[in-house]
Amino acid sequence: MPSSALIRWFARFSPSPVTIDWRERLRSCLGALLGIAFTGAITHFLPGSRSAVPMLVAPMGASAVLLFAVPASPLAQPWSIIGGNLVSATVGVTCAMWISDPVLAAALAVAAAICAMFALRCVHPPSGAVALTAVLGGPAVHALGYGFVLEPIALQSAALLGSALAYHALTGHSYPHSARHNAAPVPASSQARPGFTRADLDAVLKRQGELLDIAPDDLESLLRDLQLQTYARSFAELTCADIMSGDVISIPANTRVVTALSILQRRGVKAIPVTDITLRVIGIVTRADLMSGAKRQSGLLVSLRNRLPGFRRVEEPTVSSVMTTHVHTVDTSTPIAELVPLFADHGHHHIPVLNRESGQLAGMVTQANLIAGLYRQPQQRGQLQAQPQTQRSRAA
């Protein structure tokens, strides 16, 4: 029994799996390389820079890990690195000046720096090393006095942050990090237990009693996405063929805008797929697209131009000039679980359904179709669960 407990205790030391792919890992490594190189070069080649100023202080390496490897962390945001490093450097220099015992000065510097970072909401772990460097950096650092706060700390912090901002922007990465707000609420019918609210999350975080390295907004978004994923997985049995509208019509790309608008209004739909002669989808046109095209055709200047002699008649616009050509399609065998994020996160309202074998248009799925399917699945599941009970009752 004691040996089992010891094994479980040692098992806690095993590292958690890294979920990011190798491309993201390489992107982080390259960013740190460029960021540290740029920071060192700025200090080295800065006009008037004194030789006593360290070209690079060690805490910048730790800051680079946060800025390039985990840029979504609250500890890696711009105010964290700038505010944390400046306040810690100031505290460290003050302790080095007023306390002769280096061990006591170092301990007080780190403790006071943490307290100040909490108060100013700029907690940055490498800043603890900044405070320590101010105390234990040796005669060269001590000779700088409070100049150590500006050069090298403020200078190198700004250079490293600037390189991170530029690198993330060039590589298409969001930094400074902003919380995601695109998680759709999970329908109540999908939850075995009541869903959580932001107040519930705040209460749980408060009971944790420790700082978590994730913003509450991000945590809430992740949990709601998890609910959505769980909800979608429970409906994997239904496919698009089960819920789609099979009597959908399509129009060719050379259809006049006014004609297409008339068809759309007569059918009472909001979008129509555009197909070629083989009934393969090449686009989709909505009511708003057609209204915009019709408005351009019916303008006063266009009408006058068409009536006056000597002017070339403006041709009536066709659907090809207003349709959306990048159409997200699914096939008849696609589980409706895959439709949930398309409607919830990507803003789709109408998705054409293609025949799996031929690739031709087979139907259309709308948000109303999806809602009806999500409602029908629990009903069917409840009926299937009730059948064995009914059979057992009859057998008894």
pLDDT of residue 135: 95
Give, in order, the Cα–Cα distances in Å from 208 to each of 147, 203, 214. Answer: 40, 9, 13
Q: What is the rounded distance in angstroms from the CA atom of residue 285 to the CA atom of residue 92?
A: 65
- Judge whether 354 and 360 are in contact, CB under 8 Å: yes
pLDDT of residue 395: 44
- Judge whether 137 and 100 are in contact, CB under 8 Å: no
Low-confidence ranges of the chain (pLDDT < 50): 182-194, 299-302, 304, 306, 308, 311-314, 382, 384-385, 392-396
Query: pLDDT tens-digit profile of 323-332?
Result: 888 888 899 8
pTM strictly above 0.85: no
Give the pair of three-digit tokens for residue 84.
């944390």
Q: CATH for 240-289+317-379? A: 3.10.580.10
Query: pLDDT tens-digit profile of 383-393?
Result: 544 555 555 44
pLDDT of residue 187: 46
Would you tell me the crossing angle of helices 102-120 and 78-98 to the nearest 10 degrees? 150
pLDDT of residue 347: 66
pLDDT of residue 183: 45
Every domain of the chain with CATH number 3.10.580.10 lies at 240-289+317-379
Residues with Cβ within 8 Å of 249's Cβ and at least 6 positions away in sequence, in order, are 263, 267, 272
Angle, alpha carbons 156-158-159 (nearest 5°) = 60
Give the pair of three-digit tokens for residue 264.
């759309």
Half-sphere exposure of 102 (CA within 13 A, CB side): 9
Q: Residue type for 289, please?
A: D
